[in-house]
Amino acid sequence: MKKALLAAAGVVALCGCVINIEHGGPVEHATKSVDLDKSEMARVEIKMGAGELQLGGGSPKLMDADFAYNIPSWKPEVHYESSGFRGQLTIEQPHGVSMRSNVTYKWNIHLNDQLPMDVVTHLGAGEARLDLGAVNLRSLEVHMGVGELRLDLRGKPTRDYSVQVHGGVGHATIYLPDDVGVEAEASGGIGHIEMRGLEKHDEVWINPAHRHAPVTIHLNVSGGVGDISVIAE
């Protein structure tokens, strides 16, 4: 965590943060829930400059979250609005915060499993564990910064959906279900790519279930400096 926070100096600017080194204080906790409404789908956007993110499903509401932080000005901001057909949920680290030492900053967020969702995450520095196999995804977009990403999509999707991972400095491990179709592409300045359970055909990796599966996950990994492991088995 300490190394990730120091390395964040080069990427936290993407989240609108100002960098000054100060010390954190006692850990505080905050919880937040957002109820379901009549929206037929939702877009969820998560913006974290530096810290530890755990994101998964299992909420009976649109979202349940627990936040732990030891810098009061870093209390996450949660905004929700709905047009009637589509809801927009945004969870973000406040803009203009400082980079500090001895920091505790952890988000544990649970999303609804039934409502169709487009999920976008912007991660500056730290560790992220995204267990989204149970979530009813329409699309997923992950912007990595500095640190480690573990993305687990193993589940029983009922529709095709797309996944975009924009690489950063660190390592990403992506788990895919082996009983749905997978099409994976990778490009840009990626240090090393490991594909398990996939075979390369021209410029695309596919899995054995690809030919007959009624559902296909379209994965695109691009850019960054780091290693990517994609596991579909």
Gap between the Cα atoms of 195 and 18, Å rounded: 38
How many helices (H) and strands (E) the chain has is answered by 1, 17
Element of type H or E holding 6: helix 2-7
The pLDDT confidence band at residue 19, using thresholds 50, 70 and 90, is very low
**What is the DSSP secondary structure assignment for residue 98, as one 8-state letter?**
P
User: What average pLDDT does the structure give for the chain?
Assistant: 87
**What pTM, to 2 d.p., does this model score?**
0.88
Rounded mean pLDDT of 193-204? 89
Q: Where are the beta strands (DSSP E) in 35-189?
A: 41-59, 63-69, 77-82, 86-92, 105-112, 117-131, 137-143, 146-152, 161-166, 169-175, 181-187
Least confident of 86-90, 139-143, 210-214: 210-214
pLDDT in the model for residue 2: 46
pLDDT in the model for residue 41: 98
Gap between the Cα atoms of 67 and 184, Å rounded: 34
Res. 37: pLDDT tops 70: yes
Closest CA to 99 of 74, 68, 79, 135: 74
pLDDT in the model for residue 10: 47
Rounded mean pLDDT of 13-39? 75
pLDDT in the model for residue 168: 79
pLDDT in the model for residue 15: 47
The pLDDT confidence band at residue 47, using thresholds 50, 70 and 90, is very high
Gap between the Cα atoms of 167 and 214, Å rounded: 29
Gap between the Cα atoms of 172 and 196, Å rounded: 14
Instruction: Take residue 86 and report the two structure tokens written for it.
Output: 């589509």
pLDDT in the model for residue 137: 98
Rounded mean pLDDT of 103-121? 97
Under a CB-based contact definition with an 8 Å cutoff, are residues 204 and 227 in contact?
no
Gap between the Cα atoms of 179 and 233, Å rounded: 9
Under a CB-based contact definition with an 8 Å cutoff, are residues 8 and 145 in contact?
yes
Share of the chain above pLDDT 70, in %: 87
Residue recorded with tokens 């974290």: 48
pLDDT in the model for residue 13: 45
**b/e burial code for range 158-178 (CB count within 10 A of at least 16 → b):** eebbbbebbbbbbbbbbbbbb
